[in-house]
Chains A and B, each alone.
Chain A
Amino acid sequence: MHAILDHLRNLLSGDVRLILPQIQLVLFGLGILLTDFLLEKQYKSWNAVMAMLGVGFSGFSLWQLRGAIEGGDMVAFRASIITDHFFIFFGFLFLAATALVILLSVKYLEIEEEHHGEYYALMLFATVGMMFMVQGTDLIVQFIGLETMAISFYILVGFLRRDKRSNEAALKYLLLGGFSSGILAYGFSILYGLGGSTNLFSITSTLDKRAQSIAPAGDLLLLLAFVTVAAGLFFKVAAVPFHQWAPDVYEGAPTTITAYVSVASKTASFGLLLRLFQTAFWPAHASWQMPVAAIALASLTLGNFAAITQTNIKRLLAYSSISHVGYVLLGVVAQNDTGLKGVAFYLFAYTFMNVGAFAVVIILRRKGLIGDELEDLNGLSQRSPAAAVLLLIFMLSLAGIPPTAGFIGKYYIFLSLVESRHYWLALFAVLYVVPAVYYYFRIIVHAWLRKTTDPIAPVISLGQTVALTVASFVVLAAGLYPEPFIRLAQYSLFLPFGHLSGR
């Protein structure tokens, strides 16, 4: 008995320690799957409690890892994962998003009459996938992590099986996601061929050496690998022209999952994107700067213009999130510390403000009202002033009006562009705030300035209250006193193999 414990302790102090957060999530996910059978229909919300516990434990382990890596980044499993600041930051972000969405889900699922344990289990598994995406330094770990997340999402998007929109969204997401995964895998295969290894460290060092002999700008194989990998990742983050799944999926999916996909999937994919762009593809950084900038601008343009005339809130937010991708990508384009900090802060802010925005849509859902049309918001300020105020805060933040987190995020993006002398990009970026404000304010107009024909005030459950409070608090706090949050973003900066510090 003692020996077993010792063994366990040894195990936990070794490599396994670094994946403890994931392990805990998996365990709780399995637990939910098991206990779900035992729960009567009216007690299904215990699944949510369980999932929250899992997130809590996972967060605790992650916190401990944070302390453990103060001395330096830790790698494990033959360098196939790395626990660094970057991972800690993103890990917490995923957990936060997961927790918020779990809180929002309970009531929503009850209304949808699809309250099953699988839902929460899949969320936890998706979180595991995301964590591995960011933690992985091996192409296989990254790919499998990505797929775990993606497949979980396909299912979650189609979770309302009796709803045609949900079906269609899931099928579209699956087909296109599979297609893009194929392209990504193709890119990974080329990368593997170039690097001679699946390990990111050795790929990077090989490609660094390779750059000595072949100018990266003319290295077609590398660029081919880049294009295919980038196409796969841009698909996941929904950047133009790989974005088209997003509005449909966002609209069709259960709103809670829309929030989750829009936030977590995007954040995780950006984590992976940064990981790859800053390491393996760094030698070609001069080559990918312009195309990424073009994609960013295209995303801004299309996202903003398409959103202007939408009447469905979820769809509108989908297009708006495409434009947010444009901003984040601009931070990547800047290729400097400020830009990366901006990306981190932006993603952070985006997580909370977007979940918050969707949360307001979620609380509108009730029996007989889907609540995702702009008209459904009418007169919200009279029916539920608190919800209207929160919606206002989130919209201001999404639009980038101070004093909200969204402004600081945009500020950093602009700052990085000015710093890297991309003045024209900066000009475009700031001017696109204007149409963005226009459509965000369409939402506000409906919530605040229109009369309603529907006198029923939305009922907000406890979980939703907590989620909304947390989200709005973070959005406001990061706008009013951004210092600690900027530190957080600063903290997330990783200096892979001296690339950034060498500049």
Chain B
Amino acid sequence: MANHLIFYFFAGLAVVSAILVVTVRNTVHSAIFLITTLLATAGIFLQLHAQFLFIVQIILYIGGIMVLFIFVIMLVNLDVALHQIRFNRQWVVALVLALVLAAEVGFALKVGAKGVYLPSGQSGQMEPNTEMVGSVLFQNYMLPFEIASILLLVAMIGAVVMSKKKI
């Protein structure tokens, strides 16, 4: 039951704060709610026994990315942002279409998952696995890991090139 409680709590938290991310006027608040969402997701990761990911989520995402975000928001966001209209002109149509898409995907997931064979393996028998993740990451996924380093290098160059006034 606790399991359920944890899941629904985090799920609810994630969804509600996600909604707030895209609805609130103040960009800083949005960022705060995004952090909340990510934290809630981290909780769900934990509930799914993905401890390593839980850590990564908190440290990397919340610690790194969100600081970056807030930094930029502070940098570029002026007071005017508070008085600006939040949504663009197409928002009604956009909302409807997005919800229709969601309904379609939801329908597909529901119908598709019902009575449909999903490779389950030892379903739910996931032990604490940080170690395992580590070994898999460096054995099976060594190559993507290397590529990811290039990716990050590229991102670094990009961030530098783009934000520096003069290179």
Contact = CB atoms under 8 A, between A and B. Distances in A.
Contacts of A140: 141, 144
Contacts of B141: 80, 140
A125 B158 contact: no
B55 interface: no
Contacts of A213: 117
B140 interface: yes
A206 B161 contact: no
Given A118-B157, A118-B167, A77 B147 contact: no
A221 B118 CA distance: 10
A219 B112 contact: yes
Contact of A155 (B116, B148, B161): B161
A100 interface: no
A150 to B, nearest CB: 10
Interface stretch (A89-97, A188-196, A254-262, A387-395): A188-196
A193 B118 contact: yes
Interface string A40-80: 00000000000000000000000000000000000001101
A147 B151 contact: yes
Interface stretch (B9-17, B38-46, B68-76, B103-111): B103-111
A351 to B, nearest CB: 23
Nearest to A171: B162
A161 B105 CA distance: 40
Interface in B40-91: none
A356 interface: no
Interface residues of A, number: 44
Contacts of B107: 220
B162 A148 contact: no
A148 B151 CA distance: 5
Given A125-B150, A155-B161, A159-B161, A81 B143 contact: yes
A338 B156 CA distance: 43
Contacts of A151: 151, 154-155, 158
B148 A144 contact: yes
B154 A152 contact: yes
A155 B147 contact: no
B24 interface: no
Contact of B154 (A19, A148, A206, A220): A148
B94 interface: no
Given A78-B140, A138-B144, A26 B112 contact: no
A172 interface: no
B108 to A, nearest CB: 4
A234 B133 CA distance: 33
A288 interface: no
A418 to B, nearest CB: 35
A223 interface: yes
What 10 A-B pairs come out closest when comparing CB atoms?
Answer: A196-B119, A221-B112, A220-B112, A155-B158, A220-B108, A77-B143, A224-B108, A140-B144, A144-B147, A148-B151
